[in-house]
Amino acid sequence: MKYKKANVNIAILKYWGKADTTINLPYQTSVSITADNFYTLTNVELDPNAKKDVVILDDKALTGIQYTRVAHHLDALRKHFGRGEYCIVTSYNHVFIKAGYASSASAFAALAAAYVDAIGAKVSKKELSRLARLGSGSATRSVHGGFVIWHRGKNHKTSFAEKLPIDWPEFRMLFTIIDPGIKTVSSRVGMQITVEKSKSYSIYVKESNDLVEPLIEALNAKDIEAVGHISERSAELMRNVMLEAGLEYHTPKTQKLIQTIRSIRSKHKIPVFYTFDAGPNLILFTLEQYVNDIIRLLPDVEIQVSGVGGGITNANS
């Protein structure tokens, strides 16, 4: 079977809140790195006789909220292209599921690409990033490889992702598993609660958007210290508005690891920085030459290392 393969991405500068929930229009411009070893494979076939979509994930038929999210994305894609046929979607996730890492970025990027392929349309990568956004905000960025910026924009046309011209193959992401299996409020729900309840949300939006330029400068200079500090600032700004809205995604183990990372940095002079998403796990940013030392200094932490990955590709199985 022919599949579209999309990798997951991790934001250095976070997206956390929607100005328009129907098209996943964000309040913030965000910047991410596409990972090279966690991905989703998806095939879409049109079924002109079907009365609804069928979605098979990892050989099991999807139901409930997960099914509804896929069906809604397909509805948006059908509407966009003026088509009516329902689909059979076959998908395989190769993500770090055990750690509770979300796969919506790779899943909806692969779904958009596979749908476009199924109807035989030709679209640019920029347009594909808009179509992926209709399924999930972070999927907008997974269309591209490398270092990616998602311009928040003001409407469907102006909110898209593009690859930044940065070649930094030594960059590494260390995915930690701190508390596997912990159930949390989904990003989708959590960001809505935050927009509604956080007192300083509008200040957060401004502070976050003010980090875009310094981050791009730091990436252009391949300055891991500057990139790392901005990444931590972005994550902590997001956490602050989450907490204001009553959302705690960290556990004591998360906070303890943050302290350990800071002390590895100061005691051992190793450039290692953290970020997190809507969950208890940290993702660490560093360079290839420091990976073994960091793993040695964190003997009790389960870690998976990832390099910088490519954008959407074709795959067979």
Q: How far is the CB of 153 from ligand DP6 (least distance, A)?
A: 14
> Burial of 55 by CB count in 10 Å (0-12 exposed, 13-18 middle, 19+ buried)?
buried
Residue 100 or 137: the one with the smaller Cβ distance to ligand DP6 is 137
Q: How far is the CB of 30 from ligand DP6 (least distance, A)?
A: 5
**Cα–Cα distance, 233 to 239 (Å, whole number):** 10
Q: How far is the CB of 133 from ligand DP6 (least distance, A)?
A: 8
CB neighbour list of residue 13: distance below 8 Å, 6 or more residues apart: 28, 29, 30, 31, 32, 208, 211, 212, 215, 230, 231, 234
Residue 43 or 208: the one with the smaller Cβ distance to ligand DP6 is 208
Closest residue to ligand DP6, judged by C-beta, is: 137
**Cα–Cα distance, 25 to 210 (Å, whole number):** 18
Write the DSSP symbol of residue 239: H
Q: How far is the CB of 32 from ligand DP6 (least distance, A)?
A: 7
- Contacts to ligand DP6 by CB under 6 A: 11, 14-16, 24, 30, 102, 104, 136-138, 187-188, 277-278
Q: How far is the CB of 15 from ligand DP6 (least distance, A)?
A: 4
Beta-strand ranges (E) seen in 117-178 are: 147-151, 160-163, 171-177
Distance from chain centroid for Cα 192? 17
Residue 230 or 264: the one with the smaller Cβ distance to ligand DP6 is 230
Residue 83 or 188: the one with the smaller Cβ distance to ligand DP6 is 188
Residue 3 or 16: the one with the smaller Cβ distance to ligand DP6 is 16
Question: Tokens 């590895």 — which residue?
Answer: 264
Q: Which residues, in sequence order, are bridge partners of residue 174? A: 284, 305
